[in-house]
Amino acid sequence: MSRIETEMMSGWEFALGEPEEHNFKPVTLPHDWAITAPINRSMKQAEPQGFRDRWGIGWYRRNWVCREIKPGYVYQLQFDGIYENSTVWVNGIEAGGRKYGYSRFTLDITSYIREGDNRILVKVDNTSFPADRWYSGAGIYRTVKLLELPQHHLNPEEIHVKTAINGDIGIVTILTGVSSLVRASISDDNLRIASESANGTIRLEIPNVKLWSPEQPSLYHLELSLIEDEQVVDTYSLRIGVRKIEMIAGKGMYLNGNPTKIKGFCIHQDAGCLGVAVPPEIWKDRLLAFKAMGCNAIRTAHHMPASELLDLCDELGLLVYEEPFDKWTGGAYRRYFETEWQADLEIMVKRDRNHPCIFIWGVGNEVENQGQESMLKILKMLKEHLLTLDDTRPVSYAMNPHFKYESNADLAKVKDIQQFVDEVSDTEIYDLHERVERIRKIGEIVDVISCNYQEQWYPAIHEAIPDKLILGTETYQFFRGHPDQMQNFSDEVPWIDVEKHDYVIGGMLWTGIDYLGESMGYPAKGWAGSLFSTNNERKPLSYLYESYWSEKPMVYLAVMDYSLQDEGVKEHWDTPRYASHWSFPQFNKTVIPYMIATNCEEVTVELNGKQLYVNKPASYPNRMMTGFVPYLPGTITVRGFIGGQEVCSYTLRTAGPAVRLAFDAEELRLDAKDGYQKLFTVRAKDSEGIPVFRESSKVTFKVAGPAEIVAVDNGDLCSSESYDNNWMHMYHGCVSTVIRFTGEKGRVVLSAFSEGMYQADLVIHVV
């Protein structure tokens, strides 16, 4: 006997509206029906949902052929997330469902199935108001599995793995969740150790243990076998990592004994043109791009993510701050808090507590009545319950920078909870000492003080609460507040506060990558105040953070370009309009501001071979070099030096007319299974191969071979062009497409065409 887990991602049909036969169309999971919905400026919650008309009821159905109902087996359907208010029927019998759209749920369908054909029907009701204040998507947007389990089996949600370190020995304690005999084995390429116990606890020691960290994310294979009558009746496997996290007051966070700063991004779960139906390989490319610039952590704001995302963070080495929901009794979650908070909190912790990447739990974000007695009571309740599920990690809560005096506001009547929380009113607390007193009360409950946009108050907070460390759970990219004013436009970059204070363990930028929804007004369909565009293109400020976070020598140049379109970024989350190109046909020797980001000791600047004098990077505020340079067509080069030796350089060249398209590679090999998706970007280039930043021509994609085009994206959140096409106009000289592979081996050719330019071809060998 053994468990069988089968992903059920194909063979589905979907109908929006009435579940009538003629409405159903074939779809492949993951699926987000809202991403292809029409743009509707007058819809309810238009700005938060990116103007995509996602309201309605959707139906999914699938036939499943059960060739044999095995005696002594249990059959379960597991959904990692359905947005939202789902109900599942099996052969016409209601099997269950879930209200909250981000929580995994598992249904026992043993008594509902039969040998032969079985019909699964899922109703997804997205009519309840309000939805989230960011783009939530709609539908079965995460993994669905069929679980065939022995009657007596291990339950992954009851398995709890704890790790410790004693010298070079790793200590692994496994709570099995059963009182029967369980054998545990831990292995990697060079090791295999085993032990067994029938009392629910197994302890193993790993000699010369390889510790997990962002720099070396070492993982071990743990296999648990349930034994009855000397026979193995069930086996469950997972990956574990051994690491030790310490929060030492006044000194900082220590990982495996080494001081560690959190260099992090907040992220939402959508991926631009795919909406929230994002397969793990798309997120893997994004996370690798984050890692390449020195990022070592993410915050999954503001809900539990897809389980595959945490698998990737384990594998790649990214620390994770995870939280179950945004607001509590206000906002979208107010519909569920009273009856669902415990179940939603429990599934997050039980599902994810064995991931080494999780370094801290959050229990909420910028909630209503912050620092008041009603809020403190809930905070204490959430933390205490979480600790019954996992006592190995610190617990925190992400504080809004606004604190208010008590009022009699009826939260049920508040239409925009974020505005209610943020708005400056006659109840706002301005006095710093009173504000810090509210923070102190929160600090008495949480283990780490998590601050959103409060760098300017770190010294005062630390003076009042010296026994607690501070984490910037949300920070601006560029602008830092003033002690007497929450928001300001000085050039003090918030990251410098992290470097300055040992008691500040890190900062997490809002956000790492652009996301849909939370628009600041039409035509913007999302949030553009990030370091990466939705099609993974890096923005200039990402290089400033690379200079802070990465040890690899780097230098980068961008110049001010206020001819670029307004992307609708909320002002304090915005940055100066730098762009990395050297093409200004409207100028004739006009002086242009520039910025240079580098982690080198010295930098030189050359304009058409003539050197310009600049000071050392350390002499500039924020170590971001700024100055002016006259625009002369040609070449501008910056070089970085360490110890007097050139170690890196970066060059911008004036581009001529765009004459051809080019992918970032001409040929590659992929091990692409059925359903595997990947994003490819094509760029406009001139006759010398220089990227043409200002090109905006229409590009059409075609694919030949065992693959299909899924969507297109150019990173422009102000565009109203549809994602579900094979064409789109370029933005900043490039446009991307996502293609899905069918699982067949062979040769795929992806081509891009634009009138007046030579086409681009990318050959992909699927092996």
Taking the chain (767 residues) in consecutive chunks of 10 residues, what is each chunk's mean pLDDT?
Answer: 91 96 96 96 95 96 95 97 97 97 98 97 95 96 98 97 97 97 96 96 98 98 96 96 97 98 98 98 98 98 97 98 95 93 98 98 95 96 98 97 81 63 73 94 98 96 97 96 86 93 98 97 96 98 98 98 94 94 94 97 97 95 95 97 98 98 95 94 98 98 98 97 98 98 95 98 97
Cα(468)–Cα(443) distance, rounded to whole angstroms?
Answer: 7
Q: What is the pLDDT of residue 395?
A: 98
Q: What distances in angstroms separate CA 203 from CA 159, 161, 209, 230, 677, one per listed residue?
A: 13, 10, 15, 21, 41
Look up residue 410 and give its two tokens: 């009826």
Q: What is the pLDDT of residue 591?
A: 96
Contact 702, 730 (CB under 8 A): no
Cα(32)–Cα(50) distance, rounded to whole angstroms?
Answer: 14
**Would strands 262-267 and 297-300 be described as parallel, antiparallel, or unpaired?**
parallel
Please report the sign of the dihedral spanned by the C-alpha atoms of residue 268, residue 273, residue 276, residue 280.
negative
**For the chain, first and last CA: distance in Å?**
33
143 upstream amide cis, omega within 30 of 0: no
Cα(234)–Cα(1) distance, rounded to whole angstroms?
Answer: 7
Q: What is the pLDDT of residue 411?
A: 58
Q: What is the pLDDT of residue 422?
A: 62
Q: What is the pLDDT of residue 410?
A: 64
Question: Mind listing the domains of the chain with CATH numbers?
Answer: 4-141 (2.60.120.260), 156-240 (2.60.40.10), 256-523 (3.20.20.80), 547-653 (2.60.40.10), 660-766 (2.60.40.10)
Q: Which residue has the tokens 């065992």?
A: 706
User: What is the dihedral angle through the alpha carbons of 136, 140, 141, 146, rounded to the nearest 10 degrees?
Assistant: 150
Contact 579, 558 (CB under 8 A): yes
Cα(684)–Cα(677) distance, rounded to whole angstroms?
Answer: 24
Strand order in the sheet with 707-713: 660-663, 677-685, 734-741, 707-713
Residue 742's CB is within 10 A of a number of other CB atoms, namely: 16
Look up residue 441 and give its two tokens: 């009360």
Q: What is the pLDDT of residue 749?
A: 98
The overall pTM is greater than 0.85: yes
Strand order in the sheet with 169-175: 160-166, 169-175, 201-206
The long-range contacts involving 251-254, CB below 8 angstroms and separated by at least 24 positions, are 251/502, 251/503, 252/469, 252/502, 252/503, 252/504, 252/505, 253/469, 253/505, 253/506
Helix (H) or strand (E) holding 382, with range, is: helix 373-389
The long-range contacts involving 179-184, CB below 8 angstroms and separated by at least 24 positions, are 180/152, 180/226, 180/227, 180/228, 181/226, 181/227, 181/228, 182/154, 182/224, 182/225, 182/226, 182/227, 183/224, 183/225, 183/227, 183/232, 184/222, 184/223, 184/224, 184/225
Cα(303)–Cα(310) distance, rounded to whole angstroms?
Answer: 13
Look up residue 354 and give its two tokens: 């064995």
